[in-house]
Structure 1
Amino acid sequence: MQPAVAYAASTDPYTDATFRALVDAIVPSTAVPTKTGMIPTVGAVELHVHEYMIWELDHSLTLVVGVYPSVIPLAAPTAMLLNAGAVQLIASGQAQFAPYNTAPGAIPFAALSPSDRIRTLALLESSNVDPGALPPPYQYDLGLVKFMVDFLNRQTMFGTFSEWSAYGTTRLMTPTRRRLEYFPISWRQVGYPGVSLGYRALLGFPLTIVREGGVSTIV
């Protein structure tokens, strides 16, 4: 089994579905107008950014446990955080649309419309939630909640528009073992030509200095 497939298969369905819903709400697949008609563009789910988010949360963030900072797997607790926020959004009457799925066992965050998922993020970020109803390590730590919501937004965008998806079958290996397998699709979509030794940039404005009698004048 390919490493990326093996890692994705090891993720519990609850966490996987929650992060699919998250990245789909932030960077959905859509269509853009061109001279020849509407051209579909891939979104974060098609680029497997939900897998990137889970991998990053499980391997890259540290929390201080006791005295020393430690890498703590945070994907599953963060999925629970998003679902706790979704439950509170619905209970408060702030959801603008009825959930897609209300059956027992449905995943609350994934059942929301994309716009209500964004409202859930805003609810959590504004600390307008019951902190006691949140899962550890977020319970009663609204500062950590606010940091995480900001991280989820930024990291979803980074995973989408960086070269990460182009690592293909190596994308979920450790960074030193990843290899680019093709040109990133998101770079092509936004017209980014790729890595260069240097791009032209504004380095300042040309100045003419006139020196008369030992006095320099900029004109």
Structure 2
Amino acid sequence: MQIAKTYAAQVDPSTYETFRSLVEAIVPTTPCFGAEQTAGAVDLCVHEYMIWELDHTLALMLGINLTVFPLSAPTAGMLNSGAAQFVAKGGAQDAPCRPVWALSPFSALCPADRIVVLSLLEQLWFDLGLLPPPYQHDGGFLKFIIDYLNRGTMFGNYSEWPAYGTTRLNTPTLRRLECFPTGWQQTGYPGVSSGYRAFRGFMLFIVRDKGGYEIV
């Protein structure tokens, strides 16, 4: 619990808000059966998962050694740069929320415009020279990370990670399931079992010389 609080306190507000807005746009909270709400990625704290993964799991080659290079802050900077260029070119569908703009231009956009910015970044539509390192002038890595942001958000939302609760930002060996994952409930996944039927290949029929066959 203390590790989670300490780590959360180290994340700067701009990075935190940018990732919160990112996952909100990809998996929004939606109405279901009248007034009832279906939990979205923000409700499940998937933005914290993305920040953690980018700072601890992805690695960049620096020199001849594989070094873990924290990527959450520069990735947030990349999204904000894309948002600023998008608005400057008149692409915004809705006017940005000005009180939020100073903290995070990406967050100041409406959810639909955030998705457009992601798409245009993947298409290298923006001036890559205005992006922060390591994305500056690196279209290949930019495409990779945009794909990762989409897949990572979906994985965090529908995996068991939100069910780690107060231990979710601890190191993996210290995480403990505190409830049944909401994403599993939403998809109808019954949970872990050692008895699920699985495809194990095709039966091999071996014909013997003296007639007959054997199933292997």
With the length of structure 2 as denominator, give the TM-score of the two structures. Answer: 0.89
The partner residue of 1:55 within 52, 57, 65 is: 52
Matched residue of 2:78: which SS?
helix
Does the alignment pair 1:174 with 2:182?
no
Given that residues 54 and 72 in structure 2 are in contact (C-alpha distance below 8 angstroms), is that contact kept between their aligned partners in structure 1? yes
Given that residues 131 and 140 in structure 1 are in contact (C-alpha distance below 8 angstroms), is that contact kept between their aligned partners in structure 2? yes
The partner residue of 1:88 within 68, 85, 90 is: 85
CA distance in 1, matches of 2:13, 2:152: 21
Q: 1:27 to 1:104 in 2, by over 3 A?
A: closer
**Which residue identity is paired with 1:135?**
P
Map of 1:10 onto structure 2? 10
CA distance in 2, matches of 1:104, 1:203: 53
Map of 2:42 onto structure 1? 45
Alpha-carbon deviation of 1:38? 5.0
Alpha-carbon deviation of 1:21? 0.2
Alpha-carbon deviation of 1:184? 0.8
Given that residues 187 and 194 in structure 1 are in contact (C-alpha distance below 8 angstroms), is that contact kept between their aligned partners in structure 2? yes
**Structure 2 gap segments, 5+ residues each:** 204-209
Matched residue of 2:146: which SS?
helix
**Structure 1 gap segments, 5+ residues each:** 207-212
CA distance in 2, matches of 1:87, 1:49: 24
Does the alignment pair 1:22 with 2:47?
no
Question: Greater shift after overlay, 189-198 or 16-25?
Answer: 189-198
CA distance in 2, matches of 1:71, 1:200: 38
Alpha-carbon deviation of 1:67? 1.8
Alpha-carbon deviation of 1:201? 4.6
**Which residue identity is paired with 1:149?**
I
CA distance in 1, matches of 2:162, 2:96: 30
RMSD: 2.5
Instruction: String of CA shifts for 1:109-132, please: whole Å, max 9, x gaps.
Output: 000000100001001100111011
Q: Identity of counterpart residues, as a percentage?
A: 59
Q: Count how many residue pairs are aligned between Structure 1 and Structure 2.
A: 212
Higher strand share: 1
Given that residues 100 and 108 in structure 2 are in contact (C-alpha distance below 8 angstroms), is that contact kept between their aligned partners in structure 1? no
Matched residue of 1:69: which SS?
strand
CA distance in 1, matches of 2:95, 2:119: 18
CA distance in 2, matches of 1:38, 1:107: 31
Instruction: String of CA shifts for 1:148-170, please: whole Å, max 9, x gaps.
Output: 00000000000000000111111
Alpha-carbon deviation of 1:203? 6.1
With the length of structure 1 as denominator, give the TM-score of the two structures. Answer: 0.87
